[in-house]
Chain A
Amino acid sequence: MENIIEVAGLRKSFGRAVALDGLDLVVRPGEVHGFLGPNGAGKSTTLRVLLGLLRADGGRAVLLGGDPWRDAVALHRRLAYVPGDVTLWPNLSGGETIDLLGRLRGGLDPARRDALLARFELDPRKKGRAYSKGNRQKVALIAALASDAELLLLDEPTSGLDPLMEEVFRRCVDEERDRGRSVLLSSHILAEVEELCDRVTIIRRGRTAESGTLAELRHLTRTSVEAELAAAPTGLEALPGLHGLETHPAGEGTHLRCEVDTDRLDRLIRALSAAGIRSLTSRPPTLEELFLRHYQDAEPATAAAPAAASMPEAAR
């Protein structure tokens, strides 16, 4: 089966400001795809292009096998969207808004709608302006989740939700996956992405920085290692792919802390074991660390050593 979303080399500028600068993104059928990036990286712009609200300047975007700009209306009947900043009609009640949006999409399942209202503990009788940010978000979420869409486009859908509701949301997305839906989830909540997403794309300044499964991304980056050694290790300086090495004497032995490129881990352990390992902790990078690397890259002035490889301008 072909991909649900296929974006290649997508470009979009607003006047002189470049929002998307050759972005690539692939969402496969039935997967929950995490879409990460610092504020202003172009996540919402990408979603708006995919919704046919913005017209791309260049590149290719295919959504559910169609052209998001030309076939917008037909495609929209097959997807549901939750904007990052939900504004409601002030004089329509939440229940009315949910029903309206669902019907405009081609109908919604009343039983599912009521079940979701109960799960998210939303009072549907309040008027749009009386809802808090989190409750406005729930209105949009329920409208989207109660639909029969093949694809969910979620732009930071849990912003403003309390932790209990975040948990409800996660279970809902899991159920959607079980029902065979595809989900593109833009989010800043890394625990959420880590728990929910099959694959992840990290973007930075309008370009794709990395994309793959979490395991693949982890493999590309560093593992932190902490060890108690019987003696001071030797020859570590010569090891390639070692970063931030700190050693200091501890009792009779040596305490060591460092980071190592994950594919060089083996050689480090061998060198350490030569010095006599008393205890060893090795921790794969958290998504947070993965992400921070790209956050820091986004600020050219302060991004120094840790990510020199991906900073051609800084290296120059």
Chain B
Amino acid sequence: MSTAEAMAGVPELGKLITRRERIRLPIWCYALLASVVGTAYSFRQLYPTPESRARFAATVGRDPALAVLYGKPFDLTTLGGLTAWRMGVFGSLLLAVMSIVTVVRHTRAEEEAGRFELVGAGAVGRRAPLIAVLRIVLGTQLALGVLIGALLTALGMGASGAFLFGLSLAACGWFFAGVTAITVQLTDFGRSAGGLAFTVLGAAYLLRAFGAGSGANGPTWLSWLSPIGWTEQAQAFAGDRWWVPLLDVLGTALLVAGAFRLARSRDLGGGIFPARPGPARGAASLRSAGALGRRLHRGNLIGWGIGLLVFSAVLGAIADSIAELVGTSQQANEIIQRMGGQGGIVDAYLASCMNILGLVVAFYAIQSTVRLRTEETGGRVEPLLATGTGRLRWAAGHLVFPIAGSGLLLALGGLAAGLAHGGRSGALGRQLGELVLAGLIQLPAIWVLVGLTVAVYGFLPRATAAAGWSFVGLCILLQELGPLLRLSHWITDVSPFATVPRAPGVAIPAEPVLVMAAVGAVLTVLGLIGLRRRDIG
């Protein structure tokens, strides 16, 4: 195929993608700019002098949990260094998610829906959708990187570090666009292609965290296996290693080339793995809306379970070495004392891990709640509701997963963290109980998000997905940026996760937990009432 033929239809598809992304893409850009530049601005207000920054570096900057979960500090005496430390990992994750979601939506999801068949019959190259969406995603991220560089420079930070930081974030986004370009070739479903790419992202996060959590003699090199680690290792404002983001660019090029190769050897609509035939008869148990729900959600829940098992186990395993990261100096001892001793540091770290676990499981909860709407718009609800199945029974078959399945995942996460940590620190029984509880305590907050989404589904069904994902996004932003921007409690408490007790290590008050559970239940019931009263379809 000549280049001209391969590119046929790309500009037109590009316009189509831009049109369909006219709301989402600006939101991604805004979220990234607001968090990075907002954080930078806030640091400038809070720590204007080198002395104030030095004080900050010697206290908060020494918190090992932050180093493991959010990024290693290299030079906290400059505003740029502070910003790069605090936003490097977070910004990389944000851009990676943007890449995964956008690439899947315009390639595999289009094929799955059968729409690409319509487009592909025109004068459009086979690889045109992938080329078109990559041009848009990579272009947007490059522009974002440059913009961040310019804005941070305008805030008075060193231009070299500012542009390096912006571009290294963009490069991480590029890498995951490349990863997704591969995964969408492998599977038949957009959902599993996204799942595969998110698994790679999770692994990248864990490798970086494990590397960062290892003491001087540990396998710190693990961070170097992770594109998220590369953003960190570029050491913007503290050495400016310009060659590191080139690793991302090289990786992206290789991945995209690989994706094109794979695309050549598969059929439209098909994956690399061929579909297997199913049973000729329904199992005797497949006889209710609940059974169908279990069948539809089973694979996804198992996938999440395995993923979170590994995720939590790795985070748990880091817990023991965490106190060593503070160091052994006189000053370090003071910090350790102030944070409640060795045990206090470990507990604070584990509480942060459980908090992150809660936010990750919230993704699962919203994903499986939104399934209600995709089943409806996919036309698969109509034949079901035309049988003896009522609307509530049908909805319950799905909602059991965000409501109870999330609890299962949280318990599993707590268990894995407890086993990994307790296994190494030798207090297995106590750790297990405490961490399972610390995981489960996140559940009522998730119920609030699920309830909100169900309520929207009942009354404004079209807005279901947008609302659900916005709720999760808002919670994450408030969680990450609230303390940095010193937002008032009135604002940060909008997120139900702000009210979750920071267990383990604290007594768990019953009141907030019960209140959130009740709010979640009321919202869910409200949504179901709406569902009973409205038109389907």
Quote the shortest CB–CB distance from B387 to chain A (angstroms).
Answer: 4
Contact A100 B286 (CB under 8 A): yes
Cross-chain contact A53 with B537 (CB below 8 angstroms): yes
Does residue B189 face the partner (Cβ distance < 8 Å to A)? yes
A104 pairs with B288, CB closer than 8 A: yes
In this complex, what residue of A is CB-closest to B382?
A83
How far, in whole Å, are A92 and B383 apart by their CA atoms in the complex?
A: 15
Who on chain B is nearest to A107 by CB? Answer: B287
A240 contacts the other chain (CB 8 A): no
Known: A90-B189, A92-B295, A96-B286. A105 touches B388 (CB 8 A): yes
Q: Which of B287, B299, B385, B390 has the most CB of A within 10 A?
A: B385
Could you tell me the distance between the alpha carbons of A153 and B386 in the complex, rounded to whole angstroms? 10
B278 at interface by CB-CB < 8 Å:
yes
Given contacts A53-B535, A81-B386, A104-B387, contact A87 B379 (CB under 8 A): yes
**CB within 8 Å for A76 and B387 given contacts A93-B277, A124-B281, A130-B275:** yes
- Fill in one digit per residue for A33-62: 1 if any B CB lies within 8 Å of its CB, else 0: 000000000000000100111110000000
A127 to B271 alpha-carbon distance, docked (Å): 14
A103 in the interface (beta carbon within 8 A): yes
Interface residue A95 (Cβ < 8 Å from any Cβ of B): yes
Across the interface, do A72 and B390 meet the contact criterion of CB distance under 8 Å? yes
Point out the residues of chain B lying under 8 angstroms from A96, CB to CB. 278-279, 281-283, 286
Residue interface mask A98-132, B partner, CB < 8 A = 1: 11110111100000000000000000111101100
A85: interface (CB < 8 Å): yes
B278 and A85 within 8 A (CB)? no
Bound together, the chains give a CA A101 to CA B379 distance in angstroms of 14
A245 in the interface, Cβ–Cβ < 8 Å? no
On whether A126 and B277 interact (CB within 8 A), knowing A54-B537, A83-B382, A96-B286, the answer reads yes
**CB of A179 to closest CB in B, whole Å:** 20
Q: In the complex, what residues of B have CB within 8 A of residue A170's CB? A: none
> A73 is contacted by which of B277, B296, B378, B389 (Cβ under 8 Å)?
B389
- The reply to whether the CB of A272 lies closer than 8 angstroms to some CB of chain B is no
A83 to B295, CA, bound (A): 23
With CB as the reference atom, state the residue of chain B lying closest to A155: B382
- Provide the B256-278 mask, 1 if CB < 8 A to any CB of A, else 0: 00000000000000000001111
Are the CB atoms of B385 and A53 closer together than 8 Å?
yes
Q: Which residues of B contact A76 (CB under 8 A)?
A: 385-389
B289's partner among A89, A104, A143, A153 (CB-CB below 8 A) is A104
Judged by a CB distance under 8 angstroms, whether B380 is at the interface is yes
- Considering the chains assembled together, what is the distance between the CA atoms of A99 and B282 in angstroms? 6
By the criterion CB–CB under 8 Å, are B386 and A79 in contact? yes
Q: Which of B277, B281, B385, B386 contacts A99 (CB 8 A)?
A: B281
Q: Is A88 an interface residue (CB 8 A)?
A: yes
- Are A99 and B382 touching (Cβ within 8 A)? no
- The smallest beta-carbon distance between A63 and chain B, in angstroms, is 12
Q: Provide the residues of chain A in CB contact with B534, threshold 8 Å.
A: 55
B281 engages A77 (CB within 8 Å): no
| B188 close to chain A: CB less than 8 A | yes
Partner of B281, one of A54, A81, A95, A153: A95
A155 to B70, CA, bound (A): 56
Chain A residues with CB under 8 A of B280 = 93, 95, 124-125
Tell whether, in the assembled complex, residue B386 and residue A55 are in contact, meaning their CB atoms are under 8 Å apart: no
User: Which of chain B's residues 481-537 have a Cβ closer than 8 Å to chain A?
Assistant: 533-537
Q: Tell me which of A51, A93, A127, A129 contacts B386 (CB under 8 A).
A: A51
Across the interface, name the chain A residue whose C-beta is closest to B189.
A90
Checking B278, B385, B536 against A92 with a beta-carbon cut-off of 8 angstroms, the contacting residue is B278
Nearest CB of chain B from residue A275's CB, rounded to whole Å: 58
What's the minimum C-beta distance from A56 to chain B, rounded to whole angstroms?
10
- With A73-B389, A101-B383 as contacts: A95 and B286 at CB distance below 8 Å: no
B275 near A129 with CB under 8 A, answer yes
Inter-chain contact B389/A125, CB cutoff 8 Å: no
Question: Which of A86, A87, A93, A104 has most chain B Cβ within 10 Å?
Answer: A104
| Contact (Cβ within 8 A) B383 A127 | no
Nearest chain B residue, comparing its CB with the CB of A97: B282
Whether B292 sits at the interface, judged by CB under 8 Å, is yes
Name B276's closest neighbour in chain A (CB-CB): A127
Q: Are A83 and B379 in contact (CB under 8 A)?
A: yes
| Contact status B385-A126, CB under 8 Å | no
B91 CB to nearest A CB, Å = 35
Contacting pair A106 B388 (CB below 8 A): yes
Contact (Cβ within 8 A) A54 B275: no
Instruction: Tell whether, in the assembled complex, residue B387 and residue A95 are in contact, meaning their CB atoms are under 8 Å apart.
Output: no
Q: Are B279 and A125 in contact (CB under 8 A)?
A: yes
A202 contacts the other chain (Cβ, under 8 Å)? no
Chain A residue with the shortest CB-CB distance to B289: A104
Whether A127 pairs with B277 at a CB distance below 8 angstroms is yes
CA distance A16 to B493 in the complex (A): 41
Closest chain-A Cβ to B193's Cβ sits at a distance in Å of 14
- Of chain A, the residue at the smallest CB distance from B283 is A96
| Complex: chain A residue closest to B390, CB-CB | A73
Contact A129 B286 (CB under 8 A): no
Cα A106 to Cα B167 in complex, Å, equals: 61
User: Are the C-beta atoms of B282 and A100 separated by less than 8 Å?
Assistant: yes
User: A95 contacts which of B112, B282, B289, B384 (Cβ < 8 Å)?
Assistant: B282
Tell me which residues across on chain B come within 8 A of A105, comparing CB atoms.
387-388
The answer to the question of A140 belonging to the interface, with a C-beta cut-off of 8 Å to chain B, is yes
A104: which of B112, B299, B388, B535 is its contact (CB, 8 Å)? B388
Residues of A within 8 A of B279 (CB): 93, 95-96, 125
* B275 touching A127, Cβ below 8 Å: yes
Query: How far is B384's CA from A100's CA once the two chains are assembled, in angstroms?
Result: 9
Residues of A within 8 A of B390 (CB): 72-73
Residues of B within 8 A of A100 (CB): 282, 286-287, 291-292
- The residues of A that contact B386 with a CB separation of less than 8 Å are 51, 53, 76, 79-81, 83, 153
Chain B min CB distance to A119 (Å): 16
CA distance A106 to B389 in the complex (A): 10
Q: Which residues of the partner chain B approach A129 to less than 8 Å between Cβ atoms?
A: 112, 188, 275
Are B537 and A48 within 8 A (Cβ)? yes
Residues of chain B in range 397-418 having any CB-CB distance to chain A below 8 Å: none
Which chain A positions have C-beta within 8 A of B289? 104
The smallest C-beta distance from A127 to any residue of chain B, in angstroms, reads: 5
In the complex, residue of chain A having the shortest beta-carbon distance to the beta carbon of B380: A87
26 A-B interface contacts by CB (under 8 A): A51-B386, A53-B385, A53-B537, A72-B385, A73-B388, A74-B388, A77-B387, A80-B386, A83-B382, A88-B380, A89-B292, A89-B380, A91-B296, A95-B279, A95-B280, A96-B278, A96-B279, A99-B287, A100-B282, A101-B383, A104-B289, A106-B388, A124-B280, A124-B281, A126-B277, A140-B383
If A53-B385, A96-B281, A126-B277 are given as contacts, then 20 extra A-B residue pairs at C-beta distance below 8 Å, sorted by A number, are A48-B382, A48-B536, A53-B537, A72-B390, A76-B389, A77-B387, A81-B382, A85-B379, A90-B188, A92-B278, A93-B279, A95-B279, A95-B280, A99-B287, A100-B292, A105-B387, A105-B388, A125-B277, A125-B278, A127-B278
